[in-house]
């Protein structure tokens, strides 16, 4: 699978869960699957980074289930998804020397993941009687599994 497609897909994951994608990319960099040494993205592979980002990702997974959590389509959450999607896309693109293309693919993927994920979740909740929790957990599984599958392609 091309680096461009993988960058787009990691952006989709960022659109679903904004911190899950950076957590997976950071672990991939730390484990040596992604070679980000001597790039501006090297910080993703620093010793503490995957742990810190993973804690933030777990917090996001919990926060997503709370009733007062704003919509992913609100400006701040939407922009956060674009930023993390672009960052992760750039990191995957760095492996193939296509950082800017990876960044752009990640941003486009984040838009698709944000809007598509919102529609997917909203429609499934309505179709299953209005209980959001099972659908939110399904979305978590898709985001985590997808992120792991994507970054494992670099191992």
Q: What's the pLDDT tens digit per position in 96-107?
A: 788 999 999 999
Do 90 and 43 form a contact (C-beta atoms < 8 A)? no
Q: From 87, 11, 22, select the one nearest 52 (Cα to Cα).
A: 22
Q: What's the pLDDT tens digit per position in 80-97?
A: 999 999 999 999 999 778
Residue 47 phi/psi, 5° resolution? -55, -45
Q: What predicted TM-score, i.e. pTM, was given to this entire model? A: 0.94
Do 93 and 101 form a contact (C-beta atoms < 8 A)? yes
């Amino acid at each position: 699978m091309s680096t461009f497609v993988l960058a787009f897909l990691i952006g989709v994951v960022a659109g679903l869960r904004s911190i899950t994608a950076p957590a997976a990319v950071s672990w991939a960099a730390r484990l040596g699957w992604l070679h980000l040494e001597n790039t501006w993205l090297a910080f993703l592979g620093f010793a503490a980074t995957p742990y810190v980002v993973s804690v933030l990702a777990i917090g996001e997974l919990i926060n997503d289930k709370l009733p007062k959590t704003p919509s992913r389509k609100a400006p701040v959450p939407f922009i956060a998804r674009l930023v993390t999607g672009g960052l992760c896309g750039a990191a995957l693109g760095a492996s193939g020397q296509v950082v800017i293309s990876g960044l752009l693919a990640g941003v486009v993927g984040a838009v698709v993941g944000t809007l598509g994920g919102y529609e997917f979740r909203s429609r499934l909740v309505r179709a299953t009687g209005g209980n959001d929790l099972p659908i939110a957990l399904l979305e978590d599984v898709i985001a985590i599994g997808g992120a792991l599958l994507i970054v494992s392609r670099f191992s």
